[in-house]
Amino acid sequence: MDSKHLEKLEILTKRTEGEYQAFLYDCDGTLADNMMAHKLAYQEVAANYGIGLDLDMVDEFAGMPTAIFAKEITKRYGVDLPDTFASEKSQIFIDKYIEKTQPIAYVAEHLKNHVGKVKIAVVSGGSRKTVTNTLTVIGLVDLIEVMVCAGETAKGKPAPDPFLAAAEALGVDPTKCIVFEDADLGVQGAIAAGMDWVRVDKL
């Protein structure tokens, strides 16, 4: 790990000292350095339907389940997208990009350093299949006690539902959880769930 990542790991470690009993990590852009790959996969599948997708839109709705994001694309571009959009995007990502995924070193190391000390969950707007594959590639899947993924709660981020579901599955009070995120929607969900949070991309 280079000096920049070591410095961020130190900051992150200090920020998360205290009475926390559970750490809830987002996956894409937080544990996995793969946001550009997701953007390119979105752009490719959108192009199949005649849409020149602005990549900034992916940042705007980062953390939102793909099926819900497809509805936002329809609103903005006026092109109806099929129900298969999410699975098509996921397949492109898996086929072309997932094996090249690298961890975000300081966040992944932070997680590893706390195994056995706190309970650990991943709360993601990605599908369980894609998230599981991603965590496997970056070597973290066996360290995760609970995963809450797209479509597994009544509402996704920015609603509190996925975070509260993770806390319940871990048996931890939401006020004893801290969330690690890289997107506004995730932070909004954490706040709504009554949890502390850290924007790992802002350290």
- Please tell me the distance from the alpha carbon of residue 15 to that of residue 54, in angstroms, as a whole number: 34
Residue 115 DSSP class: B
User: Which residue segments constitute the domains of the chain, with CATH numbers given?
Assistant: 3-34+102-202 (3.40.50.1000), 35-98 (1.10.150)
- Please tell me the distance from the alpha carbon of residue 148 to that of residue 166, in angstroms, as a whole number: 6
- Please tell me the distance from the alpha carbon of residue 191 to that of residue 50, in angstroms, as a whole number: 37
Q: Which residues are catalytic?
A: 26
Residue 182 near residue 172, CB atoms below 8 Å: no
pLDDT 10s digit of each residue in the chain, 203 long?
A: 789 999 999 999 999 998 999 999 999 999 999 999 999 999 999 999 999 999 999 999 988 888 899 999 999 999 999 999 999 999 999 999 999 999 999 999 999 999 999 999 999 999 899 999 999 999 999 999 999 999 999 999 999 999 999 999 999 999 999 999 999 999 999 999 999 999 999 99
Residue 109 has a CB neighbour count (10 Å cut-off) of 18
With 0-12 / 13-18 / 19 or more C-beta atoms within 10 angstroms meaning exposed / middle / buried, residue 166 is buried
